[in-house]
Amino acid sequence: MTELYKHVAYEDGVTKAPTPFEADIVRGLVDKASNSQSNYLFDLSHLKEKQENILESELHLFKLRPTMKLHGFVILFFIHFQLKLYQILCKKTSTRHPNFNRNPIDLRLLETRSILRSFKPGWETFKVKDVVKKWIDHPSSNHGFYVVATTPHGEELDADWIRFAQRQDHHGSKQPVLVIYNNNKDNKIYNKNINKSDKIHNNSDNNRINYNKRGRKVVERERKKYCQLYDMHVNFKDIGWSDWVIQPTVYNAYQCKGICPFPLDTSYHPTKHATVQSLVHALGTDNIQPRRLRAGSPCCVPSPLYSLSMLYNKNDVIILKFYDEMIAAGCACH
């Protein structure tokens, strides 16, 4: 999940690329099985009530370098073998030594793939969307996955020949994970911001200049009085969010400060209402009103606002999500 975050976002959380399958929520579920080399179980119960579309689901297993001890030496083997992924259909199935011929009804073959280089470590990724959707709709049918490696002749290989990183025994970046890509049914955040947010990340100073131009010469000291963009660095540790936010740890939310001048020109991107309010305030045409009710000057506000990519932990589920309206990309008088 950390690698996925680095792919879609800069270090400060500004979105730079779309997620796989254009998902706006990506969840990484950890294995709940008891440190097994073959059995993998994931808790999907919390997803049943989510109003989301499942775009894809992938089982990620990190294949380690195989070793076998012989006369005190460790020898690496080159072998051609088959990797088989099963859906466990029955809870009573023995996941340690299943008898495929005797109990075929207890296991459903999902995929078989040939592996030519068993000595080469790396990720093995299986598409399991249909199974995951069924488990979410019918939680009682979720008994997990079973993975087994065999020779081309069907003989099962033990962990000396083929082994995967386990949750308790290996670095977190190599742990088994079930990745689910979702879209909110009524929400599409990141897609509209990707190209523009890249400009915010690389050209923040230029953005400020664009919103500062007033169409006439002013000295620098005067210019600073007017509506423009300033830095506002947010440290999640300082605001008490570091216990659940993984990345980013710090980001620049930016802020808008300054007065909205009269007359308002288009460089301040005023609304029609703000233009009228500016006129009423400057000319005092509502002076028959009590002072407290008279029109004030338009306000300097963030516009537009872009999303922030956040990676966080919620109930042992790692989530990558795009939070809308978290970064001020510019300022306007409204």
pLDDT of the residue at 224 = 66
DSSP 202: H
Read off the pLDDT band of 71 (50, 70, 90): very low
Q: What is the pLDDT of residues 97-149, one digit of tens each?
A: 444 444 555 889 999 988 776 667 889 999 999 999 999 999 999 999 999 88
For residues 7-17, give the mean pLDDT. Answer: 87
pLDDT at 187: 55
Residue 311, φ and ψ in degrees, nearest 5? -110, 120
> Which amino acid appears at position 63 of this protein?
K
Residue 214 has a pLDDT of: 40
Alpha-helix residue ranges (DSSP H) falling in 138-190 = none
At 300-315, the pLDDT tens digits run 999 999 989 999 998 8
Give me the residue label for tokens 């998902």: 23
Quick check: 266 pLDDT over 50?
Answer: yes
Token pair listed for 213: 């131009």
**What was the pLDDT predicted at 92?**
60
More confident residue, 305 or 293: 305
Domain ranges of the chain: 25-184, 190-309+324-333
Domain 190-309+324-333 has CATH 2.10.90.10: yes
pLDDT (0 to 100) of residue 125: 94
CATH topology of domain 25-184: Jelly Rolls (2.60.120)
pLDDT band at 201 (very low <50, low <70, confident <90, very high): low
Asked whether 189 and 324 are in contact (CB, 8 A), the reply is: yes
- Amino acid at position 40, single letter: Y
Q: What is the mean pLDDT of residues 142-169?
A: 80
Q: pLDDT per residue over 206-252, tens digit each?
A: 344 343 444 344 445 456 689 999 999 999 999 999 999 999 999 99
- pTM metric for this prediction: 0.76
Report the half-sphere exposure of 191 (CA within 13 A, side-chain side): 10
User: CB of 93 within 8 A of CB of 107?
Assistant: yes
The pLDDT tens digits of the residues spanning 80-95 come to: 788 899 999 986 654 4
192 or 223, greater pLDDT: 223
pLDDT in tens, 14-70: 888 888 898 989 999 988 876 666 889 999 988 877 778 899 999 999 988 776 654
- CB-CB contact of 175 with 30 (8 Å): yes
Residue range 178-194: mean pLDDT, rounded: 69
Average pLDDT over residues 187-211: 49
Cβ(10)–Cβ(249) under 8 Å? no
